[in-house]
Chain A
Amino acid sequence: MSTRIDVHHVTRVEGHGNIVVGIANGKLEECRFDVVETPRFFEAMLRGRPYQEASHITSRICGICATGHATTSLRACEKALGILPSDQTVLLRKLSFHGEILDSHVLHVYMLVAPDFLGVGSVIPLASSHPEVVLRALRMKKLAGDLCAAVSGRHTHPIAMTVGGFTHFPKPGELESLRKRLEDCRADVDATIELCASLPWPQFERDTEYVSLTRPDEYAFIDGEIVTSDGTRLPIEDYRQVTNEYLVQHSSAKFTRHQRESLMVGALARFNNNHAQLHPRAKAAAVALGLTPKVTNTFLNTAAQAVEIVHCVEDAIQVIDQLLERGITPEEPVPPTKMGGEGVGACEVPRGILIHHYWIGEDGKLTGANCIIPTNQNIANLEGDMRTLVPQILHKPAEKIRLDLEMLVRAYDPCISCSVHVAKLERP
């Protein structure tokens, strides 16, 4: 008897990917996640462009983590040009970043994952059966978008963030109003944790190497060092030692591995590596969700995102307090101290570690760029998870196997369009 699961374009993920699983006589014969999007050539587009344009170009890699790409791009330029941003810039970037993480995680938890558990095909029937759940998600997303817009000029594709600083500054009244809304949002945040605690997360364990940024002073989202759960610690400039991109035939996204056959990045990796630095309310949420590091159930990546929702709301309040206390100064961006050089920027965007590596010539134009996207780093791990999961669920009907696999893919919150670049797709 043979079963073939062929999910041509998994829904409720960003971009186009296919699950291909072949089972014959109770044995797994084929197990792949095909990335079938066309390469997008962003790195090639950057060559020859002035460094000031890089963040605006690369922000377009993603409509979800545009602030993440922009911030990583700015950090790469600043390192190449010897620019040290001001404390105010660091705080404003952090605030905008929290808004984006919040927006993306709320989208994933509520719109993309919850329908699987609540037995509906999408968020639209969910709105009829559980309107309060969807209205809560929309409220939180609106707040997150307004936070990004107040700091960086608009919800997506920030226009006020520039190399060395900002070109627009939020008014104290705007920050006070956002602070109040963040405080009011705590009830929604608590309800999010309650919802996640009530969901029947699939039982599944597969230990892997969890890779994230880490910082001595805070739960890392911007800058820091690369750390892995297997004990590697590296400056971000040595990212290639961890990412080791390689090509496979069935995917237009590159694969990565470090010490094991695969590695995982994202909220679960951050939680496993940096749990001690979460805000106390986020730690309490982790307890409520039964999460104790190291968590090796990939499905709980979504639960780790819920924990980060708590952290980002609380830390955003603290950052606003710091900004209000010191006062907002409309300051000029810090200029370059040298023209030309090489720089690596790294941030933890919603789906994991993102790296931009730029080479800038003496004329201020980029001569080369390398962007390493989180979803790429996870695809080999996703296939490893699929190979582990399928033999455990072979007794289930094909439709259930299919759903379990789709849920596994969604657990990674993959952003497939972002991940396709440079690699060549060659089919036999």
Chain B
Amino acid sequence: MIFFAPSQEASTTSLPGSQKNTLVIGIGNPLQGDDGVGVRVAEQLANESLPPGVQVQELGTPGWGLVNALEGWQRIILIDAVQMGAEPGAWRRLDGDQVSLINNPSSLSLHEPGLAESLALARALNLLPEELVLYAIEPGHIGPVEQLTPAVADALPALVKQILEDIWKET
């Protein structure tokens, strides 16, 4: 696990500013091509100016550890590659109940649960934050390369801009 922002304990109280206490999480394996797009976006966000109370983390493939990571935050913004049947690089902002639309039918092993299973577990345990957002990006190629496919790489600037707007949005 790599932290891109100075370590800071989560707290449930709102900070002076009026952004919610927010954790932005990049998910995926950057050694598996577009699967790592969430991590690439998190890297870029970590270099931007962020409001106090907002932290960015790369969680890689956290498995059940994602459930622990959600605890104590008012808002969680997840970024991950999701196969939606769209063109590579297309992305969607999902929130609320929309997030539970994702599933992972090919997962057979509870040693390595995916995002859908971990979120389902967090939901069953009432550990979801008051606001949960998922930025889902359609991958082009998932396989053992470090580069993103051009269509996905080209989509990143607009995506990062949108997430920053989301982060700075006052509540």
Decide if B64 touches A14 in the complex (CB within 8 Å): no
B68: CB under 8 A from chain A?
A: yes
Among B65, B67, B110, B125, max chain A CB count under 10 A is at: B110
Q: Whose C-beta in chain B lies nearest to the C-beta of A63? A: B112
Decide if A9 touches B68 in the complex (CB within 8 Å): no
Size class of the A contact interface (CB-based, 8 Å): 20 to 34
Decide if B111 touches A134 in the complex (CB within 8 Å): no
Q: Is the interface of A mostly helix, strand, loop or mixed?
A: helix
Among A122, A124, A138, max chain B CB count under 10 A is at: A124
Give the residues in chain A near B67, CB-CB below 8 Å: 138
Decide if A12 touches B110 in the complex (CB within 8 Å): yes
A155: CB under 8 A from chain B?
A: yes
A-contact 0/1 string along B106-124, CB 8 Å cutoff: 0011111000010011001
Give the residues in chain B near A63, CB-CB below 8 Å: 63, 111-112
Q: Whose C-beta in chain B lies nearest to the C-beta of A107? A: B111
Decide if B110 touches A111 in the complex (CB within 8 Å): yes
In the complex, what distance in Å separates the CA atom of A88 from the CA atom of B117? 40
| Minimum C-beta distance from B69 to chain A (A) | 10
Q: Whose C-beta in chain A lies nearest to the C-beta of B61? A: A63
B158: CB under 8 A from chain A?
A: no
A345: CB under 8 A from chain B?
A: no
Among A63, A122, A127, A142, max chain B CB count under 10 A is at: A127
Decide if B110 touches A122 in the complex (CB within 8 Å): yes
Give the residues in chain A near B121, CB-CB below 8 Å: 123-124, 127, 134
Give the residues in chain A near B101, CB-CB below 8 Å: none
B-contact 0/1 string along A118-139, CB 8 Å cutoff: 0000111101100100110010
Give the residues in chain B near A154, CB-CB below 8 Å: 1
Decide if A13 touches B109 in the complex (CB within 8 Å): yes
In the complex, what distance in Å separates the CA atom of A110 from the CA atom of B125? 15
In the complex, what distance in Å separates the CA atom of A170 from the CA atom of B125? 33
Give the residues in chain B near A12, CB-CB below 8 Å: 109-110
Decide if B65 touches A124 in the complex (CB within 8 Å): no
| Minimum C-beta distance from A168 to chain B (A) | 15
Q: Whose C-beta in chain A lies nearest to the C-beta of B112? A: A63
| Minimum C-beta distance from B28 to chain A (A) | 15
Decide if B124 touches A9 in the complex (CB within 8 Å): no
Q: Whose C-beta in chain A lies nearest to the C-beta of B2? A: A154
Among B68, B109, B117, max chain A CB count under 10 A is at: B109
In the complex, what distance in Å separates the CA atom of A131 from the CA atom of B121? 10
Task: Determine which of A11, A15, A128, A138 lies in contact with B64 in the assembled complex, contact meaning CB atoms within 8 Å.
Answer: A138
Give the residues in chain B near A13, CB-CB below 8 Å: 109, 111
Count of B residues near A, CB < 8 Å?
A: 17
Q: Whose C-beta in chain B lies nearest to the C-beta of A134? A: B125
Decide if A124 touches B109 in the complex (CB within 8 Å): no
Task: Determine which of B63, B110, B124 lies in contact with A112 in the assembled complex, contact meaning CB atoms within 8 Å.
Answer: B110
In the complex, what distance in Å separates the CA atom of A9 from the CA atom of B109? 10
In the complex, what distance in Å separates the CA atom of A183 from the CA atom of B47? 39
A64: CB under 8 A from chain B?
A: yes
A357: CB under 8 A from chain B?
A: no
| Minimum C-beta distance from A367 to chain B (A) | 26
Decide if B111 touches A124 in the complex (CB within 8 Å): no
| Minimum C-beta distance from B137 to chain A (A) | 24
Decide if B111 touches A142 in the complex (CB within 8 Å): no
Decide if A145 touches B111 in the complex (CB within 8 Å): no
In the complex, what distance in Å separates the CA atom of A122 from the CA atom of B113? 11
Q: Whose C-beta in chain A lies nearest to the C-beta of B118? A: A124
Decide if B110 touches A11 in the complex (CB within 8 Å): yes
Given A63-B111, A64-B111, A145-B65, decide whether A127 and B1 contact each other with a Cβ distance below 8 A. no
Chain A residues 28 to 52 lying within 8 A of chain B, measured CB to CB, are none
Decide if B109 touches A15 in the complex (CB within 8 Å): yes
Decide if B64 touches A141 in the complex (CB within 8 Å): yes
Q: Whose C-beta in chain A lies nearest to the C-beta of B67? A: A138
Chain B residues 45 to 103 lying within 8 A of chain A, measured CB to CB, are 63-65, 67-68
Task: Determine which of A123, A125, A135 lies in contact with B110 in the assembled complex, contact meaning CB atoms within 8 Å.
Answer: A123
| Minimum C-beta distance from A350 to chain B (A) | 11
| Minimum C-beta distance from B12 to chain A (A) | 18
Q: Whose C-beta in chain A lies nearest to the C-beta of B107? A: A11
B-contact 0/1 string along A161-192, CB 8 Å cutoff: 00000000000000000000000000000000
Closest 5 CB pairs of A and B: A127-B124, A14-B111, A128-B124, A142-B68, A124-B120
Q: List 10 A-B contacts (CB under 8 A).
A: A11-B108, A12-B109, A12-B110, A13-B109, A123-B121, A124-B120, A124-B121, A127-B124, A131-B126, A138-B64
Q: Which residues of A contact B (CB under 8 A)?
A: 9, 11-16, 63-64, 107, 111-112, 122-125, 127-128, 131, 134-135, 138, 141-142, 145, 149, 154-155, 415
Q: Which residues of B contact A (CB under 8 A)?
A: 1, 63-65, 67-68, 108-112, 117, 120-121, 124-126
